[in-house]
Amino acid sequence: MKKSVTIKDVAAYTGLSVGTVSMALNGSERIAQKTKKYVAMAADELGFRKNPFARSLSTKKSRIIGCIVPDITNQFYGEMVGHLQKELVERDYGLIVGFANEDRNQEARLISQFIDRGVDGIISVPVTDTKHDISQIRTLYEDSFPIVFISAYYKDIPYYTVMADLEDGMYQITASFLKKGYKNMAFVFGDLNLIPSSERLNGVKRAYAAAGIEFDPSNIFQASGVTYLAGYSTVVNYTGHNKPDVIFAINDIMAMGIISALRAKGMRIPEDIKVAGFDDISNAAFLETPLTTVSQSIELMCRETVTLLLNRLEGKNTFSGIKKIQTTVIIRESAY
């Protein structure tokens, strides 16, 4: 590491004062055009780079956003992080990441680490498990620390959230299958206390109610998680007698696990049994049996989330509730 060129060196080189150089570099109105150009050239010539720490110390801004997702191995969250990063980089922000493994304590630790690192704001996929202590989040909210939620929210803190309209998505897809005449449908969700499950379930119930059909709660299966393996295991460990017409998984990854296990049992998809996912991850269309699913536009969600957060950072006043993003049912071969 060669010793670094500071703004002082640029000032000395140009014969201007440090303040002028600083303002020139920041494009201040009060500096003459030609001075700005001159300073820019000199800075370039000397290879000057702003020291981010000094800048941050003075401005109290780091232009770094912290982001917490449950599990980066899940392609859905992979795509989410990818889009968030893209949106942020475009606006000259950096993204620092953490993975909470669906554990509220880890999420809490990450949040406080991020704050200690001086992030300007946080985007989190909250761990909405109701069993856990949420006071940290409440305090942040009360201090109006810029944290926004994506893809879920805390029941008690339904603010600054961007998520897909899960209930409506599930309503649509359930209704469409009810209309086709299928009634015996199984729903493999994760922990039903979590918002993402309970919202979907509401959609399901609403669809049955709208169709005037009674909903049998024994068709809800609570898997050990929302992963490929959880889907796989749920099918493998199922000892019941009921063979549903359609199985709905809480997400595509889980649907893939379910399909895999069903096939291993010798069933054909969609002939013997239909399977639908949720999310429309990028290769859902290219699976051996292209997957019927409900698309949440991750890209749109991420863009809205970043916009919401940055608007808050800039002090613009923003929508503070739960913004729901429209979903779309996509019928593919796995459940024609």
Which of 37, 51, 265, 283 is the binder for DNA (CB under 7 A)? 51
Residue closer to DNA by CB (options 6, 106) is 6
> For a copy of itself, which residue of 189, 221, 228, 248 counts as binding (CB under 8 A)?
228
Measured distance CA(18)–CA(7) in Å, rounded: 6
Q: Which residue, 23 or 309, is less far from DNA as judged by CB?
A: 23
Interface characters, 25-64, with a copy of itself (x: CB under 8 A): ------------------------xxxxxx-xx--x-xxx
Name the one residue in this structure whose structure tokens are 């998505």.
Answer: 169
Please tell me whether residue 18 binds a copy of itself under the rule CB under 8 A.
Answer: no
Nearest approach, Cβ of 112 to DNA (angstroms)? 15
Q: Confirm or reject binding of residue 59 to DNA (CB under 7 A).
A: yes
Applying CB under 8 A, among 34, 135, 143, 240 the residue interacting with a copy of itself is: 143
How many angstroms separate the CA atoms of 244 and 274, rounded? 9
Element (H, E) at 231: helix 228-236
- Closest separation in Å from C-beta 12 to DNA: 11
Structure tokens that stand for 10 in this block:
């640029």
Three-class SS of residue 109? helix
Task: Provide CB contacts within 8 A for 156, sequence distance 6+.
Answer: 134, 138
Interface residue with DNA, options 44, 47, 57, 336 (CB under 7 A):
57
Which of a copy of itself, DNA, none does residue 267 bind (CB under 5 to 8 Å by kind)?
A: none
Q: At what angle are helices 33-46 and 18-25 packed, to 10 degrees? A: 100
Determine contact, residues 114/146, Cβ cutoff 8 Å.
no
CA 215 vs CA 201, 207, 243: distances in Å = 11, 9, 16
30 binds, among DNA, a copy of itself, none (CB under 5 to 8 A by kind): DNA
Choose among a copy of itself, DNA, none what residue 7 binds, the Cβ cut-off being 5 to 8 Å by kind: DNA
Bridge partners (DSSP) listed for residue 323: 162
What is the rounded end-to-end Cα distance, in angstroms, of the chain?
Answer: 62
Task: Point out which residues pair with 163 in neighbouring strands.
Answer: 324
For a copy of itself, the binding residues (CB under 8 A) are 1-2, 49-54, 56-57, 60, 62-64, 71-75, 77-79, 81-82, 85-86, 89, 94-99, 113-118, 143-145, 228-229, 232, 257, 259-260, 263-264, 282-283, 286-288
